[in-house]
Amino acid sequence: MASERVLITGASSGIGAALAHQYAQRGAKVILVARPSERLQSVTTAVHGIAFPGDVADPVVIANAVTYAQDTLEGLDVVIANAGYALRGDLSDLTMADIRRQFETNVFGVLTTIQATLPLLRATRGRLVIIGSVAGSVTTRGAIAYAMSKAALRPVAEGLRLELAGSGVSVTLITPGLIVSDIDHRDHMGALIPGLTPTPSRWAMPTSDAARKIVRAIDRRRTEAVITWHAWFLLLAWHWCPCLVRPFLAHDRSRHDRSRHGRGT
């Protein structure tokens, strides 16, 4: 079996980095796209991949990665649109610029990735993967903008399945719950935000475990995979008895200067 050729956006940390390691361990050739950072360089070195530093919403960055895949690797087998960050803050504390930046990365970055890579995936009957979130279905306080951006990815995935029917390209929507990650702790430029309360480790799934589950779902060409038991529980509880879930969702996890955080992310 020939080595898989895999492109991953948002690959400098969290789920993206863990997926890069998973694929590298099975001999895949990995292309990483993320904002320039020491973390990106570290992951790239560890997986013997090739990095394309830059904004995932920049068509030039994605186009350069696709050109490399076409000219050097002669195609792509798997594309994982993972790049994203979580904008926190009550809606009244956020500016329209804050919200537009959230959508620029979490929605338009995904669309840019998909449009640029689809021709290569059609040629290989490959696998397209969109990393969503349980927040796209169940919104918590202080996460309206993030939830909106993730909710927008479900119709993208469902519509693409219709558009790609008969092409051999599979579309998998990944719906993670709490995963050990710093997504809540970094702004749209990748900088750490002080003052945030980390997710309790007893609830969060280790990133490596999540990556293994995600790769398994991709291999099986599943239409959707909900990662973590608490994500399943939350989705079911919200569907059948939302009144019991709302008090939990109202809890504010972002214990910090809300105005500063909102304008900084």
What secondary structure does DSSP assign to 180-218, as a single string? S-SGGGB-TTS-B-TTPPPPPTTTSBPHHHHHHHHHHHH
What secondary structure does DSSP assign to 219-241, as a single string? HTT-SEEEESHHHHHHHHHHHH-
146 is catalytic: yes
Reduced to 3 states, what is the DSSP secondary structure of residue 39? Answer: helix
Options 23, 68, 85, 146, the catalytic residue: 146
Are 237 and 246 in contact by the 8 Å Cβ rule? The answer is no
Q: Going edge to edge, which strands form the sheet with 5-9?
A: 50-53, 29-34, 5-9, 78-81, 127-131, 170-176, 224-227
Are 194 and 261 in contact by the 8 Å Cβ rule? The answer is no
Q: Which amino acid is at 6?
A: V
Catalytic sites, residue numbers: 146
